[in-house]
Amino acid sequence: MSYVDLININDTTPDRQAVLAQIKAAFGVVPNMFKAAANSPAALNSMWGSFGALGAGVIGAQLGEQIAVAVANRNQCEYCLAAHTVLGQKAGASAEEMAAAQIGESNDPKTSVALTFALKLVENRGQILPSDVEHLRMIGFDDEHIVEILAHVALNLFTNYVNVAFAVPVDFPKVKLIG
């Protein structure tokens, strides 16, 4: 059971209803994570707005979802791991690619470097070296991509913390955490 209320779209304020309706239109349902975030309209708007902004960015959906599962696994967030595994497969990644990304691996060199960077950001709490950024540039990422990779990590830290801290019930097919 969640430590905070899961806000029902039909039993809340009009401002929350408007955002939850957008989420329902995108997913077909309102996932529990957004119901938890809806306790604060500011938090809900921040979360949903960030998903929209990054979804329109230069990082493709597949890489964004691979970053999400790597960060979720590192933070032991079962909710995000389950949700982003489904979304990654919808974005074109195979089950095997998503499982590899979960532990920061990929057969694609560019994806592998991005995942390594993302996990280094998490593990070192943002403390990176100039050589980490240079490695991304050498593999073909420009500054826009690099900053966006960091933004994906930051958004996933936010969602991981919401789900883990508040024990939000997983409403996607469960995926086993690794390590």
pLDDT on residue 179: 82
pLDDT on residue 36: 98
Whether this model's pTM surpasses 0.85: yes
pLDDT on residue 133: 98
Alpha helices in the chain (DSSP H): 14-27, 32-37, 41-55, 61-74, 78-90, 95-102, 109-123, 130-139, 143-165
**For the chain, domain boundaries:** 14-55, 61-165
Q: Per CATH, which fold does 61-165 belong to? A: AhpD-like (1.20.1290)
pLDDT on residue 42: 98
Q: How does residue 158 score in pLDDT terms, banded at 50, 70 and 90? A: very high
